[in-house]
């Protein structure tokens, strides 16, 4: 039976009936033909100023004035209601998550390079009040302000911690991040705030991030403590998706410290206790897949990877992902797939996924040095497992070069573990050369 006629929706661009399977408000033809403005238009002083402020409302209004399209047509580009476009244009709604900003700018045709990493105000005061100050390749600090309840600042803090962690690793971020978490908990404990539930949610998000930083810094006990705090706060703030995410991080903590059975139990609880779909569902499915792979359940691992890929493919209709999930993009999905496939012995598929994750980082213009080190060491492991010592040593050498620029106990341990396996092949020339370089670096003994 043809169900297309069952749709009661029509394209906001041309009026054509929409398929019931089309989550957008535009037909395929109108989506392809939505007006695009030149880069010169976006390079004007007024547009550069709006881009610098992350003023999505001003960008949308200018776009509509120059193209003549309706608010409904613009809303359909990002699958939201027309009323939300109206709120943006009137300044009743702001967008403070860069990934959401990028969703808008890409829909409008703004070149990615013109969108700053932070809005102008935050970029200026960020090192002093929100984020991370770089004092050298291994010295970072978050100079937090006096305790406050500015929830937008806390969202920005979580986003920036994710970015700096992916770039440089958790060792140099953890102390200041824990201090900021303590300040927020202090404000919450003092009582008397009308923002108790939102603050509990902010505590949950930040405690989850601090728990992950602790894990990357090689502090499993602190990681478990912070993640327990996050789990409690997520439940108090009635955010089941975030609570499941925290359980997923607990599963990773167990994996990294040799408890695969516990990891699987935690991952299964996280997955089964959440009804989340889209990006959150995809992330939880990858946590399950990682634990299944570590427990040798190959068929179940592949099944869960298919679930993750299917869920992630449905994220287009969910542009407003939570702040704590901002890190989970296509590159992260590819990396998780590659790791699971490697653990399952599917080396060529794993190599393709991890190579794709590296290519995604390059194409997106983000260095993410710590993530690159991680993926390269995985590729080196794959080369070793496949008996290709030249390829294995080449990937490990690239990882060593990048590792000199970051501060991650977890990555250093990964390199150490890899070198221990490589020493079994120490008589070959590429291995001898790499071992000599490692000895000079002082990473391993």
Residue 14 belongs to some domain of the structure: no
Taking only Cα atoms into account, the Rg of the chain, rounded to an integer number of angstroms, comes to 23
Same domain? 288 vs 245: yes
8 Å CB contact between 341 and 350: yes
- List, for residues 1-38, the tens digit of each pLDDT value: 343 334 456 665 566 676 655 544 556 555 555 677 77
Strand partners, 10: 17
Q: Measured between alpha carbons, how far is 86 from 101 in angstroms, rounded to an integer?
A: 16
For residue 306, the number of C-alpha atoms closer than 13 Å in the C-beta half-sphere is 6
pLDDT value for 1: 38
Q: From the CB of residue 355, how many other CB atoms can be counted at a distance below 10 Å?
A: 15
pLDDT value for 134: 25
- Those residues with Cβ within 8 angstroms of residue 356's Cβ, 6 or more apart along the chain or in another chain: 331, 334, 338
Q: Measured between alpha carbons, how far is 314 from 31 in angstroms, rounded to an integer?
A: 17
Same domain? 72 vs 139: no
Residue 228 belongs to some domain of the structure: yes
Same domain? 104 vs 146: no
Query: Can you say whether the dihedral through the CA atoms of 65, 68, 72, 78 is positive or negative?
Result: negative
Residue with tokens 């609880």: 269
Q: From the CB of residue 18, how many other CB atoms can be counted at a distance below 10 Å?
A: 21
Same domain? 98 vs 192: no
Same domain? 95 vs 210: no
8 Å CB contact between 430 and 393: yes
pLDDT value for 27: 60
Same domain? 330 vs 251: yes
With 0-12 CB in 10 A as exposed, 13-18 as middle and 19+ as buried, what is 438? Answer: buried
8 Å CB contact between 311 and 285: yes
Residue 5 belongs to some domain of the structure: no
- Residue of 166, 77, 161, 146 lying closest to 373 (CA atoms): 166
CATH code for the domain in which residue 42 is found: 1.10.260.40
Determine the straight-line distance between the first and last CA of the chain, rounded to whole angstroms. 69
pLDDT value for 71: 87
Same domain? 101 vs 136: no
Same domain? 106 vs 142: no
Q: From the CB of residue 397, how many other CB atoms can be counted at a distance below 10 Å?
A: 16
CATH code for the domain in which residue 193 is found: 1.25.40.10
Same domain? 181 vs 96: no
Per-residue DSSP letters for 39-83? Answer: HHHHTSHHHHHHHHTT-HHHHHHHHHHHH---HHHHHHHTT--HH
- Residue of 8, 113, 2, 107 lying closest to 51 (CA atoms): 113
Residue 133 belongs to some domain of the structure: yes
- Name the residue range of residue 101's domain: 25-114
- List, for residues 77-103, the tens digit of each pLDDT value: 888 888 888 888 888 888 887 888 888
Q: Which of 81, 114, 147 is the last residue of a domain?
A: 114
For residue 226, the number of C-alpha atoms closer than 13 Å in the C-beta half-sphere is 27
8 Å CB contact between 238 and 197: yes
Q: Measured between alpha carbons, how far is 161 from 170 in angstroms, rounded to an integer?
A: 9
Residue 17 belongs to some domain of the structure: no
**Mean pLDDT estimate for the chain:** 82
Residue 124 belongs to some domain of the structure: no
Residue 308 belongs to some domain of the structure: yes
Residue 19 belongs to some domain of the structure: no
- Those residues with Cβ within 8 angstroms of residue 314's Cβ, 6 or more apart along the chain or in another chain: 277, 278
- Reading the chain (445 residues) residue by residue, the pLDDT tens digits are 343 334 456 665 566 676 655 544 556 555 555 677 777 678 777 888 888 888 999 999 999 888 888 888 888 888 888 888 888 888 888 888 788 888 889 889 887 767 877 776 543 333 223 222 222 233 233 333 334 557 777 888 888 888 889 888 999 899 889 988 988 888 777 765 556 788 889 999 999 999 999 999 999 999 999 999 999 999 999 999 999 999 999 999 999 989 999 999 999 999 998 887 789 999 999 999 999 999 999 999 999 999 999 999 887 645 557 889 989 999 999 999 999 999 999 999 999 999 999 999 988 877 789 999 999 999 999 999 999 999 999 999 999 999 988 999 999 999 999 999 998 887 888 888 898 888 777 665 4
Q: In total, how many domains does the chain have? A: 2
What pTM was estimated for this model as a whole?
0.66
8 Å CB contact between 381 and 411: no
Q: Which of 86, 114, 142 is the last residue of a domain?
A: 114
Residue 425 in 3-state DSSP? helix
Same domain? 182 vs 318: yes
- Residue of 421, 67, 414 lying closest to 215 (CA atoms): 414
Same domain? 242 vs 369: yes
Same domain? 305 vs 182: yes
pLDDT value for 188: 78
């Amino acid at each position: 039976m043809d169900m297309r006629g069952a749709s009661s929706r029509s394209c906001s661009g041309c009026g054509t009936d929409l398929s019931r399977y089309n989550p957008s408000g535009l037909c395929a033809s109108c989506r392809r033909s939505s007006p695009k403005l030149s880069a010169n238009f976006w390079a004007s002083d007024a547009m550069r100023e709006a881009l610098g402020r992350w003023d999505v409302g001003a960008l949308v209004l200018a776009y509509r004035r120059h193209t003549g399209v309706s608010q409904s047509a613009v809303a359909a580009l990002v699958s939201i209601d027309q009323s939300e476009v109206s709120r943006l244009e009137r300044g009743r709604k702001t967008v403070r998550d860069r990934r959401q900003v990028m969703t808008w700018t890409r829909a409008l045709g703004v070149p990615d390079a013109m969108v700053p990493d932070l809005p102008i105000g935050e970029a200026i005061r960020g090192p002093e009040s929100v984020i991370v100050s770089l004092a050298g390749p291994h010295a970072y600090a978050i100079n937090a302000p006096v305790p406050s309840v500015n929830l937008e600042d806390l969202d920005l803090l979580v986003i920036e911690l994710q970015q700096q962690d992916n770039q440089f690793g958790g060792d140099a971020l953890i102390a200041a991040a824990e201090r900021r978490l303590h300040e927020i908990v202090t404000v919450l404990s003092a009582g008397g705030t009308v923002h108790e539930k939102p603050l509990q949610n902010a505590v949950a998000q930040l405690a989850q991030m601090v728990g992950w930083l602790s894990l990357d810094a090689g502090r499993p006990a602190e990681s478990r403590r912070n993640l327990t705090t996050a789990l409690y706060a997520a439940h108090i703030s009635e955010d089941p998706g975030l609570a499941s995410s925290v359980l997923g991080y607990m599963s990773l903590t167990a994996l990294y410290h040799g408890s695969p059975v516990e990891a699987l139990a935690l991952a299964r609880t996280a997955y089964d206790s959440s009804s989340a779909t889209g990006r959150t569902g995809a992330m939880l499915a990858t946590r399950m897949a990682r634990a299944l792979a570590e427990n040798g359940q190959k068929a179940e691992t592949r099944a869960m990877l298919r679930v993750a890929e299917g869920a992630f493919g449905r994220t287009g209709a969910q542009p407003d992902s939570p702040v704590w999930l901002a890190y989970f993009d296509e590159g992260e999905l590819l990396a998780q797939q590659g790791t699971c496939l490697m653990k399952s012995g599917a080396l060529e598929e794993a190599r393709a996924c991890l190579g794709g994750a590296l290519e995604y980082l390059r194409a997106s213009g983000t260095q993410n040095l710590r993530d690159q080190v991680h993926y390269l060491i995985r590729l080196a492991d794959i080369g070793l497992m496949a008996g290709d010592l030249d390829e294995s040593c080449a990937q490990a050498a690239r990882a060593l070069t990048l590792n000199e620029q970051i501060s991650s106990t977890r990555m250093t341990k990964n390199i150490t573990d890899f070198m221990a396996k490589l020493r079994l092949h120490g008589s070959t020339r590429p291995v001898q050369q790499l071992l000599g370089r490692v000895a000079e670096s002082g990473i391993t003994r």
